[in-house]
Every structure is written in C-alpha cells, then in structure tokens.
C-alpha cells in the first residue's frame, strides 16, 4: 500500500500499531481513524518539520491540496491534514447528532480535537500569516455547518406551518445548547471559548434560516409568528436561558436586518388593513340584514368588531412597542372608516319607509341595539388612540363624530316616538280642568315611567344622555302651553292656585326623573321659578326672581318674561317696564350674550305666539341696578327657592 492509497487501515496483530521510531504515514493515518487526534497531529507536525528541513529551511509554504506539486513528504503532509480535518469535523457533527459520547473515549476525543486546535494555533505562529492553516477558524465553520444541518433537519417535519417549525427550532436549539454546555464545552481547552463558538454557529445558522423564511410569500399568521419569534421567543426563551451575558452585551447581533424586519412589519400592516376592512364590511352587512326584520334578535355587531380588531391590536404590542403603535394606528383608521359607513347605514335605515311596518316595540328595540354599539366602539377608538402615535387623533375624532351622529339620531327618534304618545296628555295642560285634576300629569308620568323600562336596556352612557334629553323635553312641553297664553290669572287668588299647581307638578316630575336617574338637575328649578314669577306681588321681588331666572337659563328672552307678565295680568306699564328692564339689562350683559350648549337649551325651544306687551315707555323709570343684580348667586343651586316677600292682598 502506498501513502496515496487512502483506505481504512486494519492493523495486524503481528505488527504493532506504532513503531519505536518515527511513525509511517499509514500509522499516522491509523491514529487519525482511531481518533487519537492529538498524537496524530503531533506526528504530522514532525513530518512537516522534516519536510521543511529537507527543503532547505525557512518557513513552510502555503498548505497544498492533494495532487499539488512538491515533494512526496509535502504531499503526505497535505493528505494527512485533509484526513485529520475530515475526522475532526465529523466528530463535531457526531457529538451534536444525538446522545453521542457522554464520557470516556467520546469526551476524550473532543478533548483531543481541542488539543489539536491549540497545537495548530501555536504552529501557525511559526508558519507565518501566508502559511497558516487556520484550523481554529475552520473549526468554527464546521460548527456552523453542523448547526445548520441540525436546524434544517428539525424544521421540515414539524406540524403547524411556520409557527410549528419555529417551535421545533426552539426545541432543537435548547436541546443542542444544553449538550454543548453540559458535555462538549467543558471537554475543550478553556482558551478556545468553545461555548461561544457553538452559540455563534447556531445563531448564524438560525439567522440564515429565518432570513430565508422571511423571503418567502407568507400568510399573515406566519408573518406574525416570525416577528414574535424573532423579537420575543428567541431573545427570552432561547438566548435568555442559554447565555444572558451574550444577549445583554449584544455580541450576536440581530437575526434579521432592520430593513427585512421593517419589510415584514409593513407587509403585516398592509395585510391587516385589507383583511379587517373586508371583515368589518362583512359583519356590518350581515347585521344590517336583520335590522328590518320583525324577529327580536340581539345584535353582536360591536362585539364582532372589537374582536376583529383586538386580535391584531393585542398581538402586535407583544412583538414590539413600535409595532404595536403602528398596528393601533392602522386599526383605528379602519375603525373610523367602518363607523362612517355604519352611520350612513343607520341613517338610511331610519329614512326607509319600510320601518313603519315594524311594530313600535320592535322598532324601539332595534334602535336601542344600534345605540348600544356606541360605547364599546367608542372605548375601543379611545384605547387605540392612546396606544397609537400622535397622528392617530384625526381618526379618533372621525370615529367619535360618527358615533355621536348615530347616538343623536337614535335619541331623537326615540324621543319623538315617546312624545307623540305623550302629546294628548300635554294638550290637556294649562286649562281650567288642569287646575283641579291631576289626570293630565298622571298620564304623562305613567307613560314616561312605563316606557323607561324599555330604555333601561340601553348602555349606561347613552341612557344618561337620553334620559337627560327626555327630562329637558318633558319640561319644555310642560311649560309650552303656559307661554301660549292658555291661562289668564287676573286675580291674586287665581295666580296662587296656578303657582301651587305648577309647584306640585314640578315636584312630581322631579321625583319621576330621579327614579329614571336623570343627571339634569339644572332643570329642577325652572318650573318653581316660573311659579314664583306668577305668584309674587311686589315688583322688587318679581325683579329678583326674573334676574335669577335669566341668570340660570340664559336663553330666556324678554318675550318670555313679557308672556309671563301677560299671564298674570300685569299690564301696569311702570311695573311691567321695570321688570322687563331687568331681563333686557341681563341680556346685554356679558353673561347674557353667551348661548348655552344645545343640551342646556330650554327657552330657545319655546316660541311665544305674539309680541310682548307695549315697551314704548321711556327708560328712565326706576328699576334694580345692575350692581344689585350682579350680587345674585351664579349658578343658583337646584334647591327650592327661598320664600319671597309677597304683597298683602
């Protein structure tokens, strides 16, 4: 057998494996095959030194491959190095491939591999940069190749798509790094930093696998899985368990480049925008199909919308805070677009003549269901705006505006339906029979109380808004007949009876709306104040009461005060002018020029059918000064009015 015939050597019993003199090439090869790697490397180094001495000294030339030029001994050295490296890298693979050598000869073989690396690194220092064999670098490459093979073998057969493959990779990484930490790294010489070499090898192999996966056409779920695994699972559940120091020092670098990572996030956001838009439209259409149905069916529209969007808004922040902000902004834009479409469809539903064919209770129930969509969707929009970037504010405002329009429309419809039923009772107010019978008000209170039971199904926030509007509207409709001039109170006795009746009705209405949990306590004083204006006899007291009325209800005008004076039969021009001057002065003052918000308007909704009594007298007549009126408390608490001095009659 010649030195160039590289088969497995079978030593015979009659011939010792190693002679007492310098071993032959075949004997060195036999050492390699038996994984006596350190001894084999020592003999190769001796052979290399002999070849160097025979060639005239100096540093050895660059390593030569098999078949390259040079002397026979140089070719033998090159071939032996190739055989040595093949066995070394095979040992690297085998020790990772399974249980492997746990102790004894196996652990010794790994130790010899490490010893070879130490010996060769020392020899490279003698050879010089150009002739260095760099086995330590090739060892790191061999570790990386073995890691790549291990990871590629773990992923393909895993069930569950990309998420399942990533889970298989996590298991393989933890398993192999456990072997490295427990058995392999301690067998290497300490100076080689074996654990770091293996960790970097696996990290690099994983980075290649992840980058290749990111280049594929992925479904949205796979993109989410890849981003979550990259940002959370790998740092926390792999590196965090394996080598926290390397993680904290940032030695390994990212698995994906920033550009690739941003591209994955962009694709996720684009997919979510398209998918949620289609899904939201679908659930809206499905729900709308039941709006005109006579079937009493509860709507799950708001719940469906929240679930569709929260699937993404809860998942994205678990990947990274920045990605969570981007996803919140994306979903808020989709929600605002959906709510504008929802608003338009609600308006079309109520404008459709076909809704008149629904039973009143069914129509009311359907309208309440539409209102009830508001609070959870509004809360979702607010939450997304808080999480999202500052540029999310316009989308939040658009969402809130659409919900406000839906709520106002449905409230107006419910209020109109209720007051259509109440109108016959209101038409009986402020007539002679009303003074002696509570029939009209009992009908109003009874109907309102009964209908309020259906309204209790409304969510708390819109219910409070609706019952406050019912409270306001009920009192507007109550006092409207008074300003139409149905009653004339020419005598003090009649004025006292009317004022007493007004106070009794006001107390009954106040008790009703307290039971309905109305928060509009600002309305409690309006009817008692009107009663006081009718009941009081002396002009200064009436002036003070009018001043309080104007301060508490700034939308009252002189025509309303004039109508009250007409009702009480106050046609005496001097007293009339002094009282009306108070209203005029307060109208012209700073507080009187401010219009109240729509939900605090009261007298603005009460027309006066005829112009007030003649106001053509000169303005020099005596009246309360503005300085005295300014001492009136503002705003006046809703407690009952204190007793006023009354003229004796």
Q: What are the pLDDT digits (tens) for 353-405?
A: 888 788 888 999 999 999 999 999 999 999 999 999 999 999 999 999 999 99
What pLDDT digit, counting tens, does each position of 326-339 carry? 999 999 999 999 99
pLDDT at 99: 56
Structure tokens at 258: 């920033």
Q: Are 549 and 529 in contact, with CB atoms under 8 Å apart?
A: yes
The pLDDT-based confidence of 488 (bands split at 50, 70, 90) is confident
Q: Dihedral of CA 457/460/462/466: which sign?
A: positive
Structure tokens at 532: 């006081």
Structure tokens at 389: 């970037």
CA distance 630 to 552: 13
234: closest CA among 144, 319, 148, 156? 319
The pLDDT-based confidence of 624 (bands split at 50, 70, 90) is very low
Q: What ranges in 55-160 are assigned the alpha helix state H?
A: 72-97, 105-127, 135-154
Average pLDDT on 164-182 reads 92
The pLDDT-based confidence of 200 (bands split at 50, 70, 90) is very high
CA distance 543 to 549: 10
* Residue 85 CB coordination number (10 Å): 17
Q: How many CA atoms lie within 13 A of 150 on its CB side?
A: 30
* Residue 97 CB coordination number (10 Å): 14
pLDDT at 249: 58
Phi, psi of 14 (to 5 degrees): -80, -15
pLDDT at 224: 95
CA distance 162 to 288: 38
The pLDDT-based confidence of 198 (bands split at 50, 70, 90) is very high
pLDDT at 57: 56
* Residue 487 CB coordination number (10 Å): 20
Q: Are 216 and 267 in contact, with CB atoms under 8 Å apart?
A: no
CA distance 372 to 77: 86
175: closest CA among 202, 193, 197? 202
pLDDT at 445: 96
Average pLDDT on 237-256 reads 74
DSSP for 206-248? HHHHHHHHHHS---HHHHHHHHHIIIIIIIIIIIHHH-HHHHH
Q: Which tops the pLDDT comparison, 153 or 251? A: 153
Write the DSSP symbol of residue 180: I
| Euclidean distance between the first and the last CA atom of the chain, given in angstroms as a whole number | 147
What pLDDT digit, counting tens, does each position of 257-298 carry? 999 999 999 999 999 999 999 999 999 999 999 998 888 778
pLDDT at 98: 61
CA distance 547 to 632: 8
pLDDT at 3: 42
């Amino acid at each position: 057998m010649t030195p160039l015939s590289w088969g497995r050597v079978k030593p015979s019993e009659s011939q010792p494996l190693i002679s007492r003199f310098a071993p032959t090439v075949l004997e060195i090869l036999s050492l390699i095959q038996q994984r006596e790697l350190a001894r084999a490397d020592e003999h190769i180094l001796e052979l290399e030194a002999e070849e160097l001495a025979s060639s005239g000294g100096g540093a050895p030339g660059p390593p030569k491959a098999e078949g390259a030029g040079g002397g026979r001994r140089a070719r033998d050295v090159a071939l032996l190095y190739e055989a040595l490296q093949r066995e070394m890298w095979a040992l690297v693979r085998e020790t990772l491939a399974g249980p492997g050598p746990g102790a004894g000869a196996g652990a010794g073989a790994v130790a010899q591999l490490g010893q070879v690396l130490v010996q060769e690194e020392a020899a490279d220092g003698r050879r010089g940069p150009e002739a260095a064999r760099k086995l330590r670098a090739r060892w790191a490459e061999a570790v990386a190749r073995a890691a790549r093979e291990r990871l590629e073998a773990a992923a393909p057969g895993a069930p569950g798509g990309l998420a399942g493959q990533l889970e298989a990779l996590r298991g393989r990484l933890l398993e192999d790094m456990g072997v490295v930490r427990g058995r392999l790294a301690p067998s290497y010489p300490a100076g080689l930093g074996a654990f770091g070499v293996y960790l970097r090898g696996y990290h690099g192999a994983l980075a290649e696998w992840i980058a290749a996966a990111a280049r594929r056409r992925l479904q949205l779920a796979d993109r989410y899985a890849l981003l979550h695994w990259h940002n959370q699972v790998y740092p926390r559940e792999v590196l965090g368990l394996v080598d926290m120091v390397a993680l904290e020092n940032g030695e390994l670098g990212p698995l994906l480049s920033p550009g690739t990572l941003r591209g994955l996030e962009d694709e996720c956001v684009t997919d979510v925008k398209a998918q949620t838009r289609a899904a939201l439209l679908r659930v809206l259409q499905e729900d709308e199909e039941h709006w005109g149905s006579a079937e009493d069916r509860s709507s799950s529209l708001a719940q469906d919308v929240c679930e569709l969007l929260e699937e993404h808004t809860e998942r994205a922040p678990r990947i990274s805070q920045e990605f969570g902000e981007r996803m919140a902004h994306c979903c808020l834009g989709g929600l605002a677009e959906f709510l504008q479409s929802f608003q338009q469809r609600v308006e079309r539903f109520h404008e459709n003549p076909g809704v008149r064919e629904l039973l009143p209770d069914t129509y009311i129930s359907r309208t309440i269901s539409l209102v009830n969509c508001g609070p959870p969707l509004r809360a979702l929009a607010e939450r997304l705006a808080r999480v999202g970037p500052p540029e999310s504010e316009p989308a939040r405002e658009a969402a809130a505006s659409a919900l406000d329009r839906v709520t106002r429309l449905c409230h107006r419809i419910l209020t109109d339906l209720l007051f259509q039923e109440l109108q016959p009772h209101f038409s009986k107010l402020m007539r002679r029979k009303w003074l002696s019978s509570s029939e009209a008000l009992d009908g109003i209170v009874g109907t309102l109380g009964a209908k309020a039971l259906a309204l209790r199904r409304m969510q708390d926030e819109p219910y409070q808004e609706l019952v406050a509007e019912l409270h306001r509207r009920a009192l507007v409709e109550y006092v409207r007949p008074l300003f139409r001039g149905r009653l004339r109170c020419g005598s003090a006795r009649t004025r006292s009876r009317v004022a007493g009746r007004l106070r009794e009705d006001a107390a009954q209405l106040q008790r009703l709306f307290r039971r309905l949990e109305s928060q509009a306590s600002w309305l409690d004083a309006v009817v008692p104040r009107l009663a006081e204006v009718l009941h009081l006899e002396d002009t200064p007291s009436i002036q003070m009461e009018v001043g309080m009325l104007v301060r508490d209800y700034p939308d009252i005008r002189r025509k309303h005060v004039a109508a009250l004076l007409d009702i009480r039969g106050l046609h005496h021009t001097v007293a009339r002018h002094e009282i009306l001057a108070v209203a005029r002065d307060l109208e012209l003052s700073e507080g009187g020029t401010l219009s109240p918000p729509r939900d605090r308007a009261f007298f603005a909704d009460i027309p006066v059918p005829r112009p007030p009594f003649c106001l053509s007298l000169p303005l020099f007549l005596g009246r309360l000064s503005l300085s005295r009126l300014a001492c009136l408390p503002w705003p006046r608490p809703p407690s009952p009015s204190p007793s006023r001095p009354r003229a004796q009659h």
